[in-house]
Amino acid sequence: MSPEAVNSLFSLLIGFALAGALVSGYQALAQRQAGFGLLEQGATPHAFVAVPFLVFAAPFIIMRNTIRGRQIEHRRIEFVMMATVLAGFWSLMSGTFVVMTLQAVGLLT
């Protein structure tokens, strides 16, 4: 594998790991599942805090909802594949941001 491919894979995995950790932490603290419904509260301080949280937690939420939709509602496989690609791309972008931030701080070379 080329170094660029390894870096992209690392960013993808970091993005999914961060998303899973954020959602698990939220669920442990709030005693309910995180979801995009956090934005439905209107223009409150909670909604503004939810935006950065959802930016990094979205890949996990998308995949969780997709798997549930496939099992419970028997959604078509095309929608599952499209949601998987979307969550993967989102995870790659958020993971790239985290890796670049760690490199800028000097914690990762």
Q: Report pLDDT for 31.
A: 92
Task: Report whether 58 contacts 37 (CB < 8 A).
Answer: no
Residue labelled with tokens 């993808």: 12
Selection from 51, 48, 50, 64 nearest residue 16 by Cα: 64
| 38 φ, ψ (degrees, to nearest 5) | -60, -25
pTM metric for this prediction? 0.86
Domain limits of the chain? 3-97
| Biggest distance spanned by C-alpha atoms of the chain | 47
> Each residue's pLDDT tens digit in the chain (109 positions)?
898 999 999 999 999 999 999 999 999 999 989 988 888 877 777 878 889 999 999 999 999 999 998 889 888 899 999 999 999 999 999 999 999 999 999 998 7
